[in-house]
């Protein structure tokens, strides 16, 4: 039994996880460099250097692969944003600038991630629903961080907080998508600065209204 569970000192579960990671890395490369239309089971397995049976070990559809990719990128985004917020100076603009810079850099330093998160994520109704839920999650993160930063102690915070957070995150997604497509002729640094301006403006205004 032990021989069946381990091979070369690696457990069956660990090998399965390695194969899944290899498939996801291959999918990111294919989508990010060739486009979603090129993502096929055979192409994915060839790229990952795996037999097709290992694909079905982890995924049952192309949407499942994309969902896993989107979720993984969202986790990376959340991690870098939270880290930047908690290490930035206790100043509204400094925190907003740090979080926005971290998020935009993660997506644009590796354009494949932006292609998956912002383009492929809108390919089907199921993926659009997943993307919408991801936006909600980040909006809740923004709202929670804002409530904590501004010291709002109301046990039932005003719904306008969630409204503005959703507006900001959703607007940023659309703006970043347009920028990546070349619709906004500004530099990345300018994109970050202008986005920071909007976040600070709406955040400070809301804090005054609720203060």
The per-residue pLDDT for range 6-15, each reduced to its tens digit, is 555 678 888 8
Mean pLDDT of the chain: 89
Place of tokens 């925190």: 95
Q: What is the per-residue pLDDT for 128?
A: 87
Write phi, then psi, for 10 (nearest 5 degrees): -115, 130
User: Does pLDDT of 196 surpass 90?
Assistant: yes
Q: What is the mean pLDDT of residues 116-135?
A: 86
Q: What is the mean pLDDT of residues 48-63?
A: 90
Give the 3-state DSSP-derived string for the chain, with helices as H, strands as E and coil as C: CHHHHEECCEEHHHHHHHHHHHHHHHHHHHHHHHCHHHCCHHHHHHHHCCCHHHHHHHCCCHHHHHHHHHHHHHHHHHHHHHHHHHHCCCCHHHHHHHHHHHHHHHHHHCHHHHHHHHHHHHCCHHHHHHHHHHHHHHHHHHHHHHHHHCCCCCCCCCHHHHHHHHHHHHHHHHHHHHHHCCCCCCCHHHHHHHHHHHHHHHHHHHHHHHC
Q: What is the per-residue pLDDT for 115?
A: 87
Lowest mean pLDDT among 22-26, 73-77, 128-132: 128-132
What pTM was estimated for this model as a whole?
Answer: 0.85
User: Does pLDDT of 49 surpass 50?
Assistant: yes
Distance (Å, rounded) from C-alpha 112 to C-alpha 15?
Answer: 26
Between 13 and 72, whose confidence is greater? 72
Long-range contacts of 102-108 (CB under 8 A, 24+ apart): 103/77, 104/176, 104/188, 104/191, 104/192, 104/195, 106/76, 106/77, 106/80, 107/73, 107/77, 107/176, 108/180, 108/188
Q: What is the per-residue pLDDT for 119?
A: 82
Whole-number percent of the chain with pLDDT over 70: 95
Q: What is the per-residue pLDDT for 8?
A: 56
Q: What is the per-residue pLDDT for 6?
A: 57
- Given a contact cutoff of 8 angstroms between Cβ atoms, the answer to whether 148 and 170 are in contact is no
Q: What is the per-residue pLDDT for 73?
A: 93
Q: What is the mean pLDDT of residues 55-83?
A: 92
Q: What is the mean pLDDT of residues 114-124?
A: 84
Q: What is the mean pLDDT of residues 130-156?
A: 88
Q: What is the per-residue pLDDT for 15?
A: 87
Q: What is the per-residue pLDDT for 9?
A: 61
- The residues facing 7 across adjacent strands are 10
Instruction: Convert the pLDDT of each residue in 163-177 to its tens digit.
Output: 999 999 999 999 999
């Amino acid at each position: 039994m032990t021989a069946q569970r381990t091979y070369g000192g690696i457990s069956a579960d660990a090998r399965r996880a390695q194969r899944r990671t290899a498939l996801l890395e291959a999918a990111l490369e294919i989508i990010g460099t060739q486009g979603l239309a090129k993502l096929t089971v055979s192409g994915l397995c060839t790229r990952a250097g795996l037999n097709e049976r290992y694909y079905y070990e982890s995924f049952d559809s192309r949407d499942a692969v994309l969902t896993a990719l989107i979720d993984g990128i969202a986790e990376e985004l959340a991690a870098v944003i939270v880290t930047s917020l908690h290490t930035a100076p206790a100043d509204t603009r400094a925190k907003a600038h740090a979080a926005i810079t971290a998020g935009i850099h993660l997506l644009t330093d590796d354009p494949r991630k932006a292609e998956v998160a912002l383009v492929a994520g809108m390919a089907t109704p199921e993926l659009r629903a997943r993307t919408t839920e991801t936006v909600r999650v980040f909006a809740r993160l923004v709202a929670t961080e804002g409530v904590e930063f501004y010291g709002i102690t109301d046990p039932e915070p005003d719904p306008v907080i969630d409204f503005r957070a959703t507006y900001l995150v959703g607007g940023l997604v659309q703006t970043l998508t347009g920028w990546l497509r070349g619709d906004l002729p500004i530099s990345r640094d300018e994109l970050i600065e202008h986005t920071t301006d909007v976040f600070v403006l709406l955040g400070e205004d809301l804090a005054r209204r609720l203060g």
